[in-house]
Protein backbone atom coordinates (compact mmCIF):
# COMPACT_ATOMS: atom_id res chain seq x y z
CA UNK A 1 0.00 0.00 0.00
CA UNK A 2 1.32 3.46 -0.85
CA UNK A 3 2.00 6.31 1.51
CA UNK A 4 -0.71 8.26 3.24
CA UNK A 5 -2.22 11.17 1.31
CA UNK A 6 -2.34 13.93 3.91
CA UNK A 7 -4.68 16.21 2.00
CA UNK A 8 -7.30 13.48 1.59
CA UNK A 9 -7.73 13.37 5.35
CA UNK A 10 -7.83 17.15 5.62
CA UNK A 11 -10.44 17.28 2.85
CA UNK A 12 -12.72 14.83 4.64
CA UNK A 13 -12.49 16.82 7.85
CA UNK A 14 -13.08 20.09 6.07
CA UNK A 15 -16.07 18.67 4.21
CA UNK A 16 -17.75 17.98 7.56
CA UNK A 17 -17.11 21.56 8.66
CA UNK A 18 -18.43 22.91 5.37
CA UNK A 19 -21.61 20.92 5.90
CA UNK A 20 -22.14 22.54 9.28
CA UNK A 21 -22.19 26.00 7.71
CA UNK A 22 -24.20 24.95 4.66
CA UNK A 23 -21.43 25.73 2.19
CA UNK A 24 -21.20 22.20 0.86
CA UNK A 25 -24.90 22.06 -0.10
CA UNK A 26 -24.57 25.02 -2.47
CA UNK A 27 -21.47 23.45 -4.06
CA UNK A 28 -23.24 20.11 -4.44
CA UNK A 29 -26.23 21.84 -6.04
CA UNK A 30 -24.00 23.31 -8.72
CA UNK A 31 -22.35 19.92 -9.34
CA UNK A 32 -25.77 18.30 -9.78
CA UNK A 33 -26.90 21.02 -12.19
CA UNK A 34 -23.61 20.78 -14.08
CA UNK A 35 -23.94 16.99 -14.41
CA UNK A 36 -27.37 17.35 -16.05
CA UNK A 37 -26.14 20.09 -18.39
CA UNK A 38 -23.03 18.15 -19.42
CA UNK A 39 -25.15 15.02 -19.84
CA UNK A 40 -27.25 16.67 -22.54
CA UNK A 41 -30.19 17.28 -20.21
CA UNK A 42 -30.39 13.67 -19.00
CA UNK A 43 -31.87 13.94 -15.48
CA UNK A 44 -32.01 10.20 -14.78
CA UNK A 45 -29.00 9.18 -12.66
CA UNK A 46 -29.24 5.64 -14.05
CA UNK A 47 -28.26 7.06 -17.45
CA UNK A 48 -25.94 9.87 -16.34
CA UNK A 49 -22.93 8.66 -14.34
CA UNK A 50 -21.73 12.14 -13.25
CA UNK A 51 -25.24 12.92 -12.01
CA UNK A 52 -25.36 9.66 -10.10
CA UNK A 53 -22.03 10.41 -8.44
CA UNK A 54 -23.16 13.90 -7.46
CA UNK A 55 -26.49 12.68 -6.07
CA UNK A 56 -24.81 9.84 -4.16
CA UNK A 57 -22.48 12.31 -2.51
CA UNK A 58 -25.36 14.70 -1.75
CA UNK A 59 -27.34 11.92 -0.07
CA UNK A 60 -24.24 10.79 1.84
CA UNK A 61 -23.96 14.31 3.29
CA UNK A 62 -27.69 14.41 4.09
CA UNK A 63 -28.61 17.05 1.54
CA UNK A 64 -32.43 17.39 1.49
CA UNK A 65 -34.22 15.73 -1.42
CA UNK A 66 -35.92 19.05 -2.32
CA UNK A 67 -32.50 20.67 -2.75
CA UNK A 68 -31.44 17.85 -5.07
CA UNK A 69 -34.59 18.15 -7.18
CA UNK A 70 -34.23 21.95 -7.43
CA UNK A 71 -30.64 21.54 -8.62
CA UNK A 72 -31.81 19.14 -11.34
CA UNK A 73 -34.59 21.55 -12.36
CA UNK A 74 -32.05 24.38 -12.74
CA UNK A 75 -30.59 22.51 -15.71
CA UNK A 76 -33.80 22.59 -17.74
CA UNK A 77 -36.26 25.12 -19.12
CA UNK A 78 -35.71 28.50 -20.78
CA UNK A 79 -34.04 29.93 -17.65
CA UNK A 80 -31.66 27.01 -17.20
CA UNK A 81 -28.36 27.67 -15.50
CA UNK A 82 -25.24 28.44 -17.54
CA UNK A 83 -22.90 26.74 -15.07
CA UNK A 84 -19.75 25.17 -16.46
CA UNK A 85 -16.74 23.42 -14.95
CA UNK A 86 -13.33 25.05 -15.21
CA UNK A 87 -10.08 23.34 -14.24
CA UNK A 88 -7.30 25.72 -13.18
CA UNK A 89 -3.68 24.74 -12.70
CA UNK A 90 -1.32 26.46 -10.31
CA UNK A 91 1.56 26.29 -7.89
CA UNK A 92 1.64 26.59 -4.10
CA UNK A 93 4.71 27.49 -2.01
CA UNK A 94 7.51 24.95 -2.28
CA UNK A 95 6.72 24.21 -5.94
CA UNK A 96 3.65 22.13 -5.03
CA UNK A 97 1.37 21.55 -8.03
CA UNK A 98 -2.35 22.35 -7.82
CA UNK A 99 -5.42 21.22 -9.74
CA UNK A 100 -8.32 23.54 -8.86
CA UNK A 101 -11.82 22.40 -9.93
CA UNK A 102 -14.52 25.08 -10.07
CA UNK A 103 -18.15 25.29 -11.15
CA UNK A 104 -19.24 28.75 -12.22
CA UNK A 105 -21.70 30.81 -14.23
CA UNK A 106 -19.21 33.70 -14.34
CA UNK A 107 -15.69 32.59 -15.37
CA UNK A 108 -14.23 36.09 -15.03
CA UNK A 109 -15.41 36.34 -11.42
CA UNK A 110 -14.09 32.90 -10.57
CA UNK A 111 -10.72 33.47 -12.24
CA UNK A 112 -10.28 36.72 -10.32
CA UNK A 113 -11.19 35.07 -7.01
CA UNK A 114 -8.82 32.12 -7.57
CA UNK A 115 -5.96 34.38 -8.67
CA UNK A 116 -6.46 36.68 -5.66
CA UNK A 117 -6.25 33.75 -3.22
CA UNK A 118 -3.16 32.37 -4.94
CA UNK A 119 -1.47 35.78 -4.79
CA UNK A 120 -2.42 36.30 -1.15
CA UNK A 121 -0.97 32.95 -0.08
CA UNK A 122 2.21 33.12 -2.19
CA UNK A 123 1.03 30.79 -4.93
CA UNK A 124 0.57 31.48 -8.63
CA UNK A 125 -1.68 30.55 -11.52
CA UNK A 126 -0.08 28.31 -14.17
CA UNK A 127 -0.66 27.82 -17.87
CA UNK A 128 -2.90 24.93 -18.89
CA UNK A 129 -0.87 21.74 -19.18
CA UNK A 130 2.04 22.89 -17.02
CA UNK A 131 0.73 21.01 -13.95
CA UNK A 132 -1.89 18.57 -15.21
CA UNK A 133 0.66 15.98 -16.32
CA UNK A 134 1.72 15.58 -12.67
CA UNK A 135 -1.70 14.08 -11.84
CA UNK A 136 -3.73 11.09 -13.05
CA UNK A 137 -7.45 11.55 -13.52
CA UNK A 138 -9.13 8.51 -12.00
CA UNK A 139 -11.83 7.33 -9.61
CA UNK A 140 -11.48 6.89 -5.85
CA UNK A 141 -13.64 5.21 -3.24
CA UNK A 142 -13.06 5.47 0.51
CA UNK A 143 -14.00 2.63 2.87
CA UNK A 144 -13.88 2.84 6.64
CA UNK A 145 -11.67 0.17 8.15
CA UNK A 146 -14.40 -0.97 10.53
CA UNK A 147 -16.67 -1.67 7.53
CA UNK A 148 -14.46 -4.21 5.73
CA UNK A 149 -11.48 -6.48 6.36
CA UNK A 150 -8.35 -6.65 4.22
CA UNK A 151 -9.51 -9.72 2.29
CA UNK A 152 -12.70 -7.90 1.27
CA UNK A 153 -10.72 -4.82 0.31
CA UNK A 154 -8.32 -6.74 -1.92
CA UNK A 155 -11.13 -8.74 -3.53
CA UNK A 156 -13.04 -5.52 -4.25
CA UNK A 157 -9.90 -3.81 -5.56
CA UNK A 158 -9.33 -6.65 -8.03
CA UNK A 159 -12.87 -6.32 -9.36
CA UNK A 160 -12.58 -2.56 -9.98
CA UNK A 161 -8.98 -2.94 -11.24
CA UNK A 162 -7.64 -0.60 -8.56
CA UNK A 163 -4.07 0.47 -9.33
CA UNK A 164 -3.30 1.81 -5.85
CA UNK A 165 -4.55 1.56 -2.29
CA UNK A 166 -3.79 4.09 0.43
CA UNK A 167 -4.68 3.82 4.07
CA UNK A 168 -4.67 5.83 7.26
CA UNK A 169 -5.95 4.97 10.73
CA UNK A 170 -9.60 5.15 9.65
CA UNK A 171 -9.88 4.59 5.90
CA UNK A 172 -8.80 2.57 2.91
CA UNK A 173 -8.72 4.67 -0.27
CA UNK A 174 -8.89 2.68 -3.51
CA UNK A 175 -7.85 4.40 -6.75
CA UNK A 176 -9.11 2.86 -9.98
CA UNK A 177 -9.40 3.69 -13.71
CA UNK A 178 -11.80 6.53 -14.50
CA UNK A 179 -13.79 4.36 -16.94
CA UNK A 180 -14.80 2.01 -14.10
CA UNK A 181 -16.68 4.71 -12.15
CA UNK A 182 -20.05 3.40 -13.29
CA UNK A 183 -19.35 -0.16 -12.10
CA UNK A 184 -18.51 0.47 -8.44
CA UNK A 185 -21.93 -0.23 -6.90
CA UNK A 186 -22.30 -3.62 -8.62
CA UNK A 187 -18.95 -4.80 -7.21
CA UNK A 188 -19.36 -3.70 -3.60
CA UNK A 189 -21.07 -6.97 -2.59
CA UNK A 190 -22.31 -5.76 0.77
CA UNK A 191 -19.32 -3.55 1.61
CA UNK A 192 -20.41 -0.16 2.91
CA UNK A 193 -18.36 2.57 1.24
CA UNK A 194 -18.40 6.32 0.81
CA UNK A 195 -19.65 7.46 -2.62
CA UNK A 196 -17.09 7.05 -5.40
CA UNK A 197 -15.64 10.30 -6.73
CA UNK A 198 -13.54 11.64 -9.57
CA UNK A 199 -9.98 12.21 -8.38
CA UNK A 200 -6.73 13.69 -9.63
CA UNK A 201 -4.06 11.50 -8.06
CA UNK A 202 -0.51 12.88 -7.85
CA UNK A 203 2.00 10.82 -9.84
CA UNK A 204 4.82 11.97 -7.57
CA UNK A 205 4.69 13.70 -4.20
CA UNK A 206 6.83 16.66 -3.18
CA UNK A 207 8.21 16.04 0.29
CA UNK A 208 8.09 19.22 2.38
CA UNK A 209 10.73 19.39 5.11
CA UNK A 210 9.98 22.93 6.31
CA UNK A 211 7.04 23.25 8.73
CA UNK A 212 6.53 26.88 7.74
CA UNK A 213 6.18 26.06 4.03
CA UNK A 214 3.93 23.12 4.87
CA UNK A 215 1.65 25.41 6.88
CA UNK A 216 1.53 27.95 4.05
CA UNK A 217 0.52 25.25 1.56
CA UNK A 218 -2.29 24.04 3.82
CA UNK A 219 -3.52 27.60 4.42
CA UNK A 220 -3.65 28.16 0.66
CA UNK A 221 -5.60 24.97 0.04
CA UNK A 222 -8.14 25.79 2.73
CA UNK A 223 -8.58 29.31 1.34
CA UNK A 224 -9.15 27.98 -2.18
CA UNK A 225 -11.74 25.42 -1.07
CA UNK A 226 -13.51 28.13 0.94
CA UNK A 227 -14.31 29.95 -2.33
CA UNK A 228 -17.95 29.48 -3.30
CA UNK A 229 -17.11 28.44 -6.87
CA UNK A 230 -14.33 25.96 -6.02
CA UNK A 231 -15.48 22.42 -5.22
CA UNK A 232 -12.21 20.43 -5.17
CA UNK A 233 -8.49 21.12 -4.91
CA UNK A 234 -5.78 18.52 -5.49
CA UNK A 235 -2.12 18.93 -4.52
CA UNK A 236 0.99 16.76 -4.86
CA UNK A 237 2.73 17.11 -1.50
CA UNK A 238 3.28 15.37 1.81
CA UNK A 239 4.98 16.28 5.08
CA UNK A 240 8.51 15.02 5.67
CA UNK A 241 9.25 16.09 9.25
CATH of the domain at 42: 1.10.10.200
56 is a domain residue: yes
209 is a domain residue: no
Domain count of the chain?
A: 1
111 is a domain residue: no
Domain holding 62, by residue range, is 6-73
What sign does the dihedral 201-195-2-215 (CA atoms) show? positive
pLDDT of residue 18: 52
Q: What residues does 138 pair with on adjacent strands?
A: 199
29 is a domain residue: yes
Strand order in the sheet with 135-144: 164-167, 171-176, 135-144, 197-202
181 is a domain residue: no
Helix or strand (DSSP H, E) at 29: helix 23-38
116 is a domain residue: no
pLDDT of residue 54: 94
Of 13-22, 105-114, 166-175, the one with minimum mean pLDDT is 13-22
- Residue 6 pLDDT class (50, 70, 90 cuts): very low
Please state the pTM of the whole predicted model: 0.87
pLDDT of residue 1: 32
- Residue 22 pLDDT class (50, 70, 90 cuts): low
pLDDT of residue 111: 98
Give the tens place of pLDDT for each residue, 50-74: 999 999 999 998 999 999 999 999 9
Confidence check: pLDDT of 114 > 70: yes
Confidence check: pLDDT of 197 > 50: yes
126 is a domain residue: no
Alpha carbons 128 and 155: distance in angstroms, whole number? 38
212 is a domain residue: no
Amino acid sequence: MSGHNKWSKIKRGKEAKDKMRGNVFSKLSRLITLAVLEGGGVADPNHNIKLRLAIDKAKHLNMPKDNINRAIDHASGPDRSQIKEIIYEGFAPGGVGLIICATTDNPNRTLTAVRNVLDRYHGKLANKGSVGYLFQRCGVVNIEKNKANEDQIYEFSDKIKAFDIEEDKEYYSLFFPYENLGKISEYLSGIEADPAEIDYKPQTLIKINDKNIYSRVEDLLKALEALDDVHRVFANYEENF
